[in-house]
Structure 1
Amino acid sequence: MFLKRISLIKENIPTYEQYPFSIPAIKNFQALDLKSNVTFFVGENGSGKSTLLEAIADKCGFHTAGGSKNNYYDVHSANSDLGEFIRLAWLPKVTNGFFLRAESFYHFATHIDEVDETGFRDYGGKSLLQQSHGESFLSLFLNRFKGKAIYLLDEPEAALSPQRQLVFLRILHQLSTSNECQFIIATHSPILLGYPNATILSFDSGRIEEMEYEETDHYQITKYFLHNREKMLNELLEAEE
């Protein structure tokens, strides 16, 4: 592990009435100690998990639309509103890493197409734009992710089938154990959340709280649906009639 602690610099916050400080989990946030090489942020849309992940990326110097310290390209509304109000504690500090933002990955892929002069060496030898969305994600994970680094991933499952999510878990394991990489991942995937010995942090209660895999809504709702599909669908669809 490299990043040990994330703190909110409360004395610099002008008001809690405006975004992103009005988000309950951010408003009540003080400090967070990271305990493992793989940390998951979970929560409903708008709960603040991606907002905090983006702020960490901004503080690391990564492009907040996706990329590392060495990627420079313009994207509308790519700045973090929270980045200047957090403090990161490292031991030791690393400068290598990457921020994956699924919703703006096309902009990053276009940027690489414009500047790469290595024959896409870090992306499997093929333009990311000439691969499917899922293939381009895996090419990034397999070829660019390596060495001592921190990787911040915002919904990496967005482009991955269930089978490819299992492939990603194997990549995650290899990188976090053999290559000393640290991961912080915002996700909705019950498959990814099942990674062993990871820390799961929920943003849903208005505070950032650690929970076990089986306690997450992602696990409980998916399990209930798989075991009670017809009953759940009948209740859900009949309620609309």
Structure 2
Amino acid sequence: MDYRSSETVADTGVETVAGPRPEDMLPATATSAVKVVVVGGFGVGKTTLVGAVSEIRPLTTEETMTQAGVGIDDLSGVESKTTTTVAMDFGRISLNERLVLYLFGTPGQERFWFLWNGLFDGALGAVVLVDTRRLEVCFDVMGRLEDRGVPFVVAVNSFPRSPTYSMSELRTALDLDDSVPMIDCDARERGSSRDVLMELMQYLYTLTTNRETQ
């Protein structure tokens, strides 16, 4: 993420360090920032979503998969995947002139889940990405969020040749409460990914309003 770069002043030969790129600076009108985590199983599209929606060049910790993961990482349904997140993804998006979201994508393999606790700290809410080819990986993810009391929405990511189910069928299969929003998305598309984040913000607003009126 090229926030800073070195350059040489021609007349003096002195190396200076340039400041942040203008497009990476926070909007001057921003008054509130919210931390959101993007979670899900291995290969569901977390890095893709963060990269698609981020208004800055996203920070990623993608590494090439090696033989060390053989027999440990479950590649069922994602056999063609060659890279994996080993720490986190990070991006930023301004939802309006005042509200900024900081996005943290979690690693998907279970052997890296010890990193989740730190990423969950301070998170206002979460997006759970779902791949209909591997619904079973969602249960532990949602269970961890529920245990920590982190509200979440479920986004069903579109993959070529993946099984298609109705929202009611998916809700039943995931044993998801009717109050938790579900939305279709294409993590590759900025507009679709932004709609998911807006759904989460609306859900968080509804929860806050309901608590204030009780």
Q: Which has the higher contact order (CA 8 A, sep 6+)?
A: 1
Structure that is richer in helix per residue: 1
TM-score scaled by structure 1? 0.29
Structure that is richer in strand per residue: 2
